[in-house]
Amino acid sequence: MTIPTAPAPAPLPVQPPTGCPFDPPAAFDALRTEQPISKISLPDGSWAWLATRYHDIRAILGDTRFSSDTTLHGYPLSGMTGGGNTQNRGFIRRDPPEHTRLRRMVTREFMVKRVEALRPEIQRITDELCDAMERDGGPVDLVEALALPVPSLVISLLLGVPYDDHEVFQRLTGTLLSRTVADEEREAARIELRDYLDRLVTAKEAAPGDDILGRLITEQQQTGEITHDEVAAFAALLLIAGHETTANMIGLSALTLMRDPESAERLRRDPGLIRGAVEELLRFHSIIRNGPRRVATTDIEIDGHLIRAGEGVVAAVPSANRDEAVFPDADRLDITRPNAQHHVAFGYGIHQCLGQALARVELQVVLATLLRRFPAMRPAVPVDEIPFRTDMAIYGCHALPVTW
């Protein structure tokens, strides 16, 4: 008699079910009920744990014995975008006490009341982009016309990018995130942006302004806590972490509301519902598709499975956010779901998204404005012709042609 060997682990599921571009990969449903802690294979032949249940994922992300340090052996990197660059990796890829020290240098910039004070500016930015859309008339690519520029303009405002540079900044960040440009062009844009941020920090050192970089320079760099390069790394992290994420949530959410006229009408009638609706859209879409990821620094038991020191873990937030044990009727978008805010779309634990208050306000403003100003907006192509980002770590639409 031979002892049956366990089947070789499959790769991380990324493909949404056929015909349901808004649902996470179907394989998660079975894993959650049958094998909530399973193994996945990585392209380089190694493997990592995959957690799919809400409570396990909160337990993992809430436990600092699971490290975010991408330089540690066993951290799942192979086949995953992001995290490869270990130089200047920013606090997102560090552990306490370094993580705490660095994160606290910028937490004040993203606290709820600071972000609320920015709401009129975010509205102005949104209105100007909508004015341009109205002037030019449809069809337009909503990703290019609105979803990408809003977070880019908002972060340039926060960082203190001078107005005259906004165009360059937006062009570079746009190229960086575009799939249609050649690799060399994207790499050139990455270098140009890095050099740009470096020059920006140098300029701010000479004349620090009333903005994030100015305050980092006067309060942390000049007191010797951080270096010029670290200030530039802060700028790059805030830009990268906040741009593609918010842009894709804007695109996907706008499309979802175009396809759900009943929810759209409720939101138009009662604009106060937008806050809860944004939480539900964050839960429903869970755009981070390859993590967060961690590596165990010691042996830890999760749900009866022993995860050994040096083993990697992928915490599948799209699966956690569809866990029926927490969100009844989880595959339904319910803009008044009472516990929508329990989602882990922003992660959980000490790395939970620093920019979440900002992302929330950007989404609330943009979606409410679209509903109000473009009540007849609809996709200009059949949904199966919209290019969804099944190939990317951050889910969304590569392009979203709309008309009104």
Q: How far apart are CA 195 and CA 212, in angstroms?
A: 18
Question: Which entry of other proteins, ligand HEM, none binds 107, CB below 5 to 8 A by partner kind?
Answer: other proteins
Binding-residue total with ligand HEM (CB under 6 A): 24
286-325 footprint of ligand HEM as x/- string (CB under 6 A):
-xx---x---------------------------------
Give the DSSP per-residue string, 194-255.
HHHHHHHHHHHHHS--SSHHHHHIIIIITTTSS-HHHHHHHHHHHHHHHHHHHHHHHHHHHH
- On whether the CB atoms of residues 73 and 310 are closer than 8 A, the answer is yes
**How is the chain split among helix, strand and coil, in percent rounded to 5?**
50, 10, 40
Question: Out of ligand HEM, other proteins, none, which partner does residue 62 contact, by CB within 5 to 8 A per kind?
Answer: other proteins
Site string for ligand HEM, 83-122 (x = CB under 6 A): --------xx----------x-------------------
Nearer to ligand HEM (CB atom), residue 52 or residue 245:
245
Asked if residue 348 binds other proteins (CB under 8 A), the reply is yes
CB of 124 to ligand HEM, least distance (A): 18
Window 359-378: contact mask with other proteins (x via CB under 8 A): -x------------------
Give the shortest CB-112-to-other proteins separation in angstroms.
Answer: 4
Strands, E, within 42-201: which ranges?
Answer: 47-51, 66-67, 140-141
Site string for other proteins, 307-346 (x = CB under 8 A): ----------------------------------xx---x
213 makes contact with ligand HEM (CB under 6 A)? no
Longest distance between any two alpha carbons in the chain, whole Å:
78
In this structure, what token pair is assigned to residue 154?
């908002």
Q: Does 90 bind other proteins (CB under 8 A)?
A: no
A 10 A CB-CB count for 79 gives 14
Dihedral through CA 184, CA 188, CA 191, CA 193, nearest 10?
A: -130
Strands 140-141 and 401-403: antiparallel
Work out how close the CB of 109 gets to ligand HEM at its nearest, in angstroms, rounded to a whole number. Answer: 9
Q: To the nearest whole angstrom, how small is the minimum distance from the Cβ of residue 341 to ligand HEM?
A: 14
Distance CA 296, CA 312 (A): 6
Q: Which of 124, 129, 166 is nearest to 146 (CA)?
A: 129
For ligand HEM, the closer CB: 105 or 258: 105
Binding of other proteins by 10 (CB under 8 A): no
Is 357 among the residues that bind other proteins (CB under 8 A)? Answer: yes
Contact residue for ligand HEM among 354, 377, 392, 397 (CB under 6 A): 354
Kindly report the number of other CB atoms within 10 A of residue 144's CB atom: 16
> Residue 68: which of ligand HEM, other proteins, none does it interact with, CB under 5 to 8 A by kind?
ligand HEM
Q: Which is nearer to ligand HEM, 116 or 385 (CB)?
A: 116
- Tell the smallest beta-carbon distance from residue 356 to other proteins (Å): 6
* Contacts to other proteins from residues 42-71, by CB under 8 A: 61-62
- Which is it for strands 47-51 and 37-41: parallel, antiparallel or unpaired? antiparallel
DSSP H helices in 291-345: 317-320
| Residue whose entry in the numeric block shows the structure tokens 């499975």 | 305
CA nearest neighbour of 251 among 117, 392, 70: 392
The residue within the footprint of other proteins, chosen from 349, 368, 400, 402 (CB under 8 A), is 349
Q: Of the candidates 249, 316, 370, 377, which one interacts with ligand HEM according to CB under 6 A?
A: 249
